[in-house]
Amino acid sequence: MFTGIIKGIGTVAEIEPVGGDTRLVIDTGDADLGPIALGDSIAVSGVCLTATALDGRRFAADVSQETLSLTTLGALAVGSHVNLEAALRAGEPLGGHLVSGHVDGFGTLAEKTADARSWRLVFSVPAALSRFFAAKGSVCVDGISLTVNEVADDRFGVNIVPHTMAHTTLGEREVGDRVNLEIDVIARYLARLVDAR
């Protein structure tokens, strides 16, 4: 589990095909992920990956073709920036909301407008996911825990404060860019209960 509180921005250092899958090597830069051991889970732009090799400030993770096709990881290139968060450890504060690192689908940045020192971002979402968003609910965008400000049809809007714009990859996003979306786990289970009735 994760919290959606990004610990830093990493950089894709290597992309290597391995046996039909892909191995990513991520340079963590100044991100404070704490001690990382082989086998630990690390959220990379909201996708839970397993550290399979460690080398100083770098870790490697194997990524299946399914994950590459269903997340934005498939569009990464050497030099791409990614949001990083190590798994939640017992006793750590839950600063965001419970995040699994299991991406539900793509969103597309539809609008980006300045609002005083903040930014208003509006994302379009697939119709199948639109029912999971609620005003003042939680959403995870590229691994970032955010509060939904408004919902209309297949869109939801968020307000991004300057710190979040500067310390996550949202500052690089432009209209038309795709992002990883993870719906709130409570919304997911409530929907399942309603469907089962």
Q: pLDDT for 47-104, tens place per residue? A: 999 999 999 999 999 999 999 999 999 999 999 999 999 998 888 878 888 899 999 9
Average pLDDT rounded to a whole number, residues 1-13 = 95
Residue 170 lies in a domain: yes
Say if pTM beats, i.e. exceeds, 0.75. Answer: yes
Confidence of residue 111 (pLDDT cuts 50, 70, 90): very high
pLDDT, position 108: 98
CATH of the domain at 191: 2.40.30.20
Q: Same structural domain for residues 44 and 113?
A: no
Average pLDDT, the chain: 94
Residue 3 lies in a domain: no
Q: Give the structural domain span for 161.
A: 105-196
More confident residue, 71 or 190: 71
Average pLDDT rounded to a whole number, residues 17-38 = 94
pLDDT, position 102: 94
Q: Same structural domain for residues 171 and 116?
A: yes
Residue 165 lies in a domain: yes
The total of structural domains in the chain comes to 2
Q: Distances in Å between the alpha carbon of 182 and those of 15, 133, 162, 166?
A: 24, 11, 23, 22
